[in-house]
Amino acid sequence: MTTFDDFELKENLLRGIYSYGFENPSDIQCKALPIISAKKDLFAQAQSGTGKTGAFTIGALNLVDESVKKTQVLILNPTYELVNQNYDVMKALSQYMDVNIMKVVGKTSLSECKSDLKKEPEIIIGTPGRVLDMISNRYLYTDNIKFLVFDEADEMLSSGFMDTIYDIIKYISKDTQICLFSATRTDETTDLSNKFLNNPELILVEHQNVTLEGIKQYKIVINEEWKYDTLIDIYNLLNISQCIIYINYKNKLMNLYDELKKNNYPVDCIHGEITKDERESKLFDFKNGKTRILLSTDLLARGIDVQQLNLVINFDLPRSKETYIHRIGRSGRYGRKGVAINFVTNRDLGYLNEIEEHYKISIDDMPQNVGDILNI
């Protein structure tokens, strides 16, 4: 079995990897790390939960010259939450290294951004709009950037950042190594690769390698009006460390939240209409165990990694097949074991079959010995 020791990584980086809890590299890490170390461009198509964040953060930290106190790595993410996640992973993995890491996002005040950028941190993780603003106003210097990463490139391009990304690349040296990570291969990601990547290596992590890696999936066929009682039964029967419950609509989410809160369950909720400050506070409480149940719309389908999360419940099936993998990828990340439970009405059965066919999987009925399913 391949280990992280096989990749000729810096000793202090290896210490950080093992301290963080990574045991063995995932499929995409095994494929991507040699390519990144060889300073080749890369187009990697991989879904949530495959360990791609680990791939480019480890790769970036291994490339950084700790003796050069200039900005050398730029990682772009489509959302503030993903920036935070990547920043947290990068900080943990680099704890024994001498590197400075900075977030550049719209939430941070301009004066704070400008002040921090004067220190020229070796690694910058940010959203495209604020990064371009800092570059074009000459607060962020790109002369020494040698490694550029686009994370969740498909989402970034479909969210209207295409022109912004193209403008950022104009400031980057043509010799810069570029790695593009995307859940799907779209016309936009292909155009970006064709225009700016230099003979990139291609990696494809197949759907089945994602869904079956540590995540056991079940379905409960149920009438809509029985979902709440079934949820309570599951919670009371299972040894749940932490759980995310996905609901498609905000009003429905709030009704469920009010009912659970009224019955004194340790629950919080997150959706697109709360402020960034509220969202950050709620995520902090959840990641630190203060909240055990988090209700969410698809705001969290990408980009949250909670060490103790061992269960995802689809109270509603997602409205797109692609979102399904992002949701259940919140549990069982990086080889940790997890469970996904799908509440399915009779009307949903045909759509669930489409999901199974799409990912070449079989979702089992919930077993009778429900109390044992988290002990897989």
Instruction: List C-alpha distances in Å: 18 to 92, 214, 244, 314, 336.
Output: 10, 19, 27, 32, 14
Distance of CA 336 to CAs 246, 248, 374, Å?
Answer: 20, 26, 12
Amino acid at 274: I
pLDDT values of the chain reduced to their tens digit, one per residue, 376 residues: 788 889 999 999 999 988 876 777 888 999 999 999 999 999 999 876 678 889 999 999 999 999 999 999 999 999 888 898 899 889 989 999 999 999 999 877 778 888 888 889 999 999 999 999 999 999 999 999 999 999 999 989 888 899 999 999 999 999 999 999 998 888 899 999 999 999 999 998 865 444 445 678 999 999 999 999 999 988 888 777 788 999 988 899 999 999 999 999 999 998 877 777 788 788 888 888 888 899 988 765 455 555 567 789 999 998 777 678 777 876 555 445 678 999 999 999 998 998 888 778 889 999 877 666 665 4
CA dist 315 and 319 (Å) reads 12
DSSP conformational letter for 4:
G
- Tell me what pLDDT residue 330 has: 60
Q: b vs e for 40-79, b when ≥16 Cβ sit within 10 Å of the residue's Cβ? A: bbbbbbbbbbbbbbbbbbbbbbbbbeeeeeebbbbbbbbb
Q: What is the pLDDT of residue 255?
A: 95
Q: In this predicted structure, what is the pLDDT of residue 211?
A: 44
CA angle 325, 327, 329 (to 5 degrees): 65
Question: Which residue carries 């659970």 as its tokens?
Answer: 260
- Bridge partners of 344? 221
Note the pLDDT of residue 133.
Answer: 93
Q: Domains (ranges, CATH) in the chain?
A: 4-205 (3.40.50.300), 210-375 (3.40.50.300)
β-sheet bridge partners, residue 179: 42, 149
Per-residue pLDDT at 325: 76
Helix pair 80-93, 11-20: axis angle to 10 deg: 120
Tell me if the pTM is above 0.75: no
Pick the closest to residue 231 from 216, 247, 217, 215 (CA basis). 247
Give me the phi and psi of 190, to 5 degrees please.
-65, -40
Task: Look at residue 300 in the predicted model and tell me its pLDDT.
Answer: 58
Residue 166: what residue type? Answer: Y
